[in-house]
Amino acid sequence: MNKYIVSIFSFIIILVVLLNVDKITDKIINILYHTNSYSIYINNEYYKENNYSFVKNTKEFVPYGKQDLLNIIYTTINSKSDNFTFYCPKEYQNCINDINNFSNDADLLTHLNNFVHPFNSFTSINTTISDSGEVNLKIKYLYQEEEILAIEKEVDELLKKIITADLESNYDKIKAIHDYIINNTKYDLDDDKEKKSYNAYGALFNHLATCNGYTDLMAIFLSEMGYDNYKVATTNGKDEKTQGHVWNAVFVDGRWLHLDLTWDDPVSSDNKDYLYHKYFLIDTEELETADSNITSKEHNFDQSIYIELKKVS
């Protein structure tokens, strides 16, 4: 009799497990990912706690929609995790297709990259997806550890010299850094990869920069000074007049403003150095006014991505 009851009870347990296998699997995955969510960013000092309208940090690594996927990718980059795996659950039927689309969308990945600290910005993401829905992200990052250490040391020393006691307002403090970078940097017309003008190292130590170098260096200074900031980019192909460009956005005195050092350090035909403040701490309406007589629309950014800078209608 006891054996018969045990057999029935065992059969019921097996039946319950079989009927709920997907839920149990998802539960196990959730448990695993809560472990990963703890370890993914805990030791990264450049991890940005700030969340933005377009993308946010997450501790939930089982996606159920496109926004979840964006948040997972962003959090992985933001934490400078070079290898991370998560799973598409059965409830999210378009998950694999959406991952493939995101992985092949260079513009979208560029925009995501702009919201992280420059030291956590990547050069490439390799995405592999298994038939079971396992997604693996392998990421290569732009800055090497020795570059980061050198930049940090130099930036800290410069801040002590540049930000003097008489600079009381946010405007004056940011202006002092803006002017220092421009006065000590030239635009690299040759885009010399050996000079690293495409990042903050080249701008800081080789005194040559493309728009990426200006923007990264300014972002590093702003972050060290405690200002929430991110980079803004236009990408080629938005329309025939729009060219790829990148500049800074900073939250100062209660609002988000533009800051474009590249355009405030123009390349002149007379080879003289010029320092402008035309694109210094202006809102989007002022940015459009500054560009009103310019044919090239390098500041024609996507306001559905950089929502904090959206023009007030």
* pLDDT, tens only, 220-275: 999 999 999 999 999 875 555 566 899 999 999 999 999 999 999 987 666 677 89
What is the structure's pLDDT at 101?
96
What is the structure's pLDDT at 10?
55
Lowest model confidence (mean pLDDT) among 23-32, 176-185, 233-242: 23-32
What is the structure's pLDDT at 51?
96
What is the structure's pLDDT at 204?
98
pLDDT over 60 (residue 151): yes
pLDDT over 50 (residue 110): yes
What is the structure's pLDDT at 39?
44
Characterize the bridge pairing of strands 208-209 and 229-234. Answer: unpaired
What is the structure's pLDDT at 5?
56
Name all domains of the chain by residue range, CATH numbers in brackets: 2-141 (no CATH), 145-309 (3.10.620)
Read off the pLDDT of each residue in 169-185 and give the average, rounded to a whole number. 98
Q: Mean pLDDT across the chain, nearest whole number?
A: 87
What is the structure's pLDDT at 240?
56
Express each pLDDT in 267-295 by its tens digit: 766 667 789 999 999 999 999 999 988 87
